[in-house]
Structure 1
Amino acid sequence: MSTLLVAGISLFAPMTALAQDAHVAPVKEFISKNVETWLTDPVVIAAIKEQNATTAGLDEAGIDKLDKEWRAQATATARPMVDEVLGRELSKFLMAKKDASQGMITEMFVMDAKGLNVGQSDVTSDYWQGDEAKWQKTFSAGPGTVFVDGVETDESTQALQSQASITITDPETGQAIGAITVGINLDML
């Protein structure tokens, strides 16, 4: 009897994986039609290039220091580092794009060549994304890469969502210079 149960579970495991991945194609289509078109906007490219020049010399200890500082400020009353990033032209650009999506986009943040946040629509829990799949499976994979993560339930809205991450490429050189992660409300797709 237990052998039969194990066999039954293993037969259904691929179906569960297929159901879980059903969101990937519609998310990629949304990204292609609604996000990729503005990833070469001068506001996006200039902000990433500027930060890449600033952070190029950072080592792991420097990155960890910035990330710890961000984490301490993310939920604090006084948060100069967080407020500086949210006040950037790129962050305002992302906030406007999010607002224009009428709830389809739940969050956005752009990362540099080190995986550090350059701009964002909302406060993230950490500043360094370089240790996460959203950066590793896009920037490290090079131009033209789109990575769609699994389905999650947004704690505040209870909506199903997924994050899509895309490599951002310098239109002049064709080289990867950063990445963006976009939260997509799957209930609205």
Structure 2
Amino acid sequence: MPGESLELRISFKRLLIGLLVTVVPISLAGIYAITRSDRELRHTVGTHFKIFAEATAWEVGEFVHERVLETGKMAASNAVVEAVMAANRVWEGMSEAAVADRIKRVEDSWAGAASELIVRQILSSPAAVELRKYRDLDPRFLRMTVTDARGATVAATHKTLDYFQADEEYWQAIYAQGRGAVSVTDILYDDVTKANYIGIGVPVLEPGTNRFIGTLDALVDVSSLFRIVNQAHPPLNLRTSLLKDDGTLIASPEATLQANLKSPEWLAVQDALATIAGRQTGHLVTDVPNMGRRLIGFADTGLKDDYQKLGWVVLVSQDAREAFASIRLVGRLTAFLAAVGLALVTLFVVYFSLHRRVVYEPLKEAVAASPAKQPEQLPTAGTNN
């Protein structure tokens, strides 16, 4: 009839079965998804840390490569090449003994007034003027020295400690037994300029033949390199460090190279850096002494492939609880919803069991206790009522 409303009735038992079939699998699937997604999300966060470390390592590498290229341009300049070739012509026709004797006489008088004339010539030569122009354009170049094929100083931005450079380790590295090679030192400290620097040495080559004819050595201030590391990712509260390949801190928020400290995270990552799989993963979670459990991303600068003394590594780390805070919140929320679903189903099952026992058991007992009802007999034909 029009006035009647549609009423849908479902038995409690069927409702309970429906909940068991739907809610329980969904809740179990949610719990399984939590465990699986938690691992995946942790891996994703760790990969982000690896990317941060790689980005900083790339900047560090570019800093060094660019300074090497600039030093090479200086060594190829006309003023430097001409000065070196002119100095080498002085030795032509002289015996090795005469060359050694002349170099020794200048070297012996280098620290005294007797060397003032030759020092003035070296510092005022066109090549020295050219070097000072480069230094004025880029103050990161602290000092530059040019020598000839014998190791005698030809031009410089300053008076060097010695006139003869061929007995120095850095010069031999550039000379490379006459082949000529690029040489970069590890970070050192210059007492004169009060700055941390790397020494970049490049060969001066003869135009047309590329034959070794001399050297150019530059001391490059690396304080801007420290700023690259210390200013990396500050909004994210990440601890970024630049290390030597023995774990010594070059730059970090808490320490400088002068402190000569070892990174507390180094012991945790050095084994991973030693394997291809570890380098490819690029991150790990580990307990660090005095720092607690931390997520660490790491990346090799790759400088050692070109410069043997620069086995530098970048680490990016953060407290693990802070790093995985967002994952932990989502996981807990999902687990809570799954637990609520299972709890509701459990309550329904308990309620159904109790309700059935309270309602139906007394009815069964009442039916069992009542006498059986006899069926009525119908009157037969011919019988009076």
TM-score tier, shorter chain, comes to 0.7 to 0.9
> Under a length normalisation based on structure 1, what TM-score does the superposition of the two structures give?
0.77
The 3-state SS of whatever aligns with 2:149 is: coil
What is the match of residue 89 of structure 1? 126
What is the match of residue 70 of structure 1? 110
Distance 1:183 1:117, change over 3 A: same
Q: How many residues align?
A: 162
From 65, 77, 82, the equivalent of 1:29 is 65
Q: Which runs of 4+ in 1 moved over 3 A?
A: 24-28, 140-144
- Listed one character per residue, the Cα deviations across residues 75-120 of structure 1 (whole Å, up to 9, x for unaligned) are x8x821211111111111111111111x200000101000011100
What is the match of residue 167 of structure 2? 131
Distance 1:159 1:38, change over 3 A: closer
CA distance in 2, matches of 1:138, 1:25: 21
CA distance in 1, matches of 2:177, 2:64: 17
What is the match of residue 165 of structure 1? 201
The 3-state SS of whatever aligns with 2:207 is: coil
CA distance in 2, matches of 1:118, 1:170: 16
The AA in structure 2 aligned to 1:84 is Q
Distance 1:27 1:69, change over 3 A: farther
Distance 1:144 1:67, change over 3 A: closer
Contact 2:174/2:201, CA 8 A, preserved across alignment: yes
Distance 1:80 1:146, change over 3 A: same
Larger Rg belongs to: 2
What is the match of residue 109 of structure 1? 145
1:143 Cα shift?
4.9
1:37 Cα shift?
2.3
What is the match of residue 177 of structure 1? 213
What is the match of residue 59 of structure 1? 99
1:68 Cα shift?
1.5
From 137, 142, 166, the equivalent of 1:100 is 137
What is the match of residue 117 of structure 2? 80
The answer to whether residue 85 in structure 2 is matched with residue 49 in structure 1 is yes
1:72 Cα shift?
2.0
From 179, 183, 198, the equivalent of 1:147 is 183
The AA in structure 1 aligned to 2:112 is A
Distance 1:41 1:140, change over 3 A: same
The 3-state SS of whatever aligns with 1:184 is: strand
CA distance in 2, matches of 1:79, 1:32: 32
1:35 Cα shift?
2.1
Percent of aligned pairs sharing the same letter: 23
CA distance in 1, matches of 2:218, 2:101: 28
Alignment root-mean-square deviation, CA: 2.2
What is the match of residue 155 of structure 2? 119
The AA in structure 2 aligned to 1:149 is T
> Under a length normalisation based on structure 2, what TM-score does the superposition of the two structures give?
0.39
Gaps of 5+ in 1: 1-23
